[in-house]
Amino acid sequence: MQAHDCIFFQLAKASQAGARHWNESVARFGVTAVQGMVLAFLAEEDDIPSGSLGSRVQLDSATLTGIVDRLARAGLVERRDSPDDRRAVRIRLTEKGRTVGRAVRGLIPAENRSFLSNLTDEEEMIFRTLLRKLLSRSG
């Protein structure tokens, strides 16, 4: 087996290609790929505890804090104390963030199709199934 046949190399390269594609798609909104996904998740469910947001976007607390800091500086989100738990912080979209979040969320179907355009519908379904299966291994 040659080195380029290593599944880990291939996964890393596919991930880089996907991240590059998504970064280029959301750059027009002045956000990175990960920031765009955080905004898209918040566009689905806004004003949620930071821990819940971290679980949804599958980011650890430290990483999420940095992303939220940058989004807050850009005027896209704001932090609010939780009325239910004084230790918890809720993350909420600003009006500008809501607009960007909805726009980013709206890009997802077309950008999925664009990135996966060389796959048939059946291949895409199989690919997504295999990705979910691989991801379930990592917990």
Instruction: Provide the token pair at 139.
Output: 């917990």
The H or E element spanning position 92 is strand 89-93
- pLDDT attached to residue 86: 74
Q: Is residue 34 part of a domain?
A: yes
What is the residue-level pLDDT of the chain in tens, covering all 139 positions?
677 789 999 999 999 999 999 999 999 999 999 999 999 999 999 999 988 999 899 899 899 999 999 999 999 999 998 777 777 789 999 999 999 999 999 999 999 999 999 999 999 999 999 999 998 876 5
Q: Is residue 119 part of a domain?
A: no
Q: Is residue 32 part of a domain?
A: yes
Provide the residue range defining the domain that includes 62.
Answer: 18-107
Q: Is residue 61 part of a domain?
A: yes
Q: Is residue 69 part of a domain?
A: yes
Q: In one letter, which amino acid is 69?
A: D
Q: Is residue 4 part of a domain?
A: no
Number of domains in the chain: 1
Q: Is residue 99 part of a domain?
A: yes
Q: Is residue 49 part of a domain?
A: yes
Question: How many beta carbons lie within 10 A of that of residue 37, not counting itself?
Answer: 22
DSSP 3-state assignment of 30?
coil
CATH of the domain at 43: 1.10.10.10
What are the residues facing 89 on neighbouring strands?
Answer: 81
